[in-house]
Amino acid sequence: MQSVTVSSCECPVCHLVLNGATRAKGKKVMPQEGDLTVCLYCASPLVFGTGLVLRRLRKQELSGPIVDDLERCVALVKMAR
Ligand SMILES: [Zn+2]
């Protein structure tokens, strides 16, 4: 896993500032609008919104195979804290 630096943005849940992103698998890439992420501090599932500003994930956005991947990421972040 390789991290990239992104513009500083406040987590909408715990309000701590995040400025990096790490892709769970694959090569190093900048996140895009609509990509899912997990806050490193509070393990909340989030979405990169317009301008890569983080926002809470809406329940209706949780569907399909991505749910299992996201739940694994949340569990990993919780274990790492
Ligand atoms: Zn947070």
Per-residue pLDDT tens over the stretch 16-43: 999 988 887 778 889 999 888 999 999 9
Distance 80 CA to ligand 1 centre (A): 14
Whole-angstrom Cα distance, residue 41 to residue 38?
A: 9
Query: Mean per-residue pLDDT for 54-73?
Result: 84
Distance 78 CA to ligand 1 centre (A): 11
User: Is there a contact between 39 and 22 (Cβ–Cβ < 8 Å)?
Assistant: no
Residue 55 pLDDT > 90, yes or no?
yes
Distance 20 CA to ligand 1 centre (A): 13
- Write down the domain spans for the chain: 3-80
pTM value surpassing 0.85: no
Distance 68 CA to ligand 1 centre (A): 20
Distance 26 CA to ligand 1 centre (A): 24
> Nearest 5 degrees, angle CA 23-CA 27-CA 46?
20
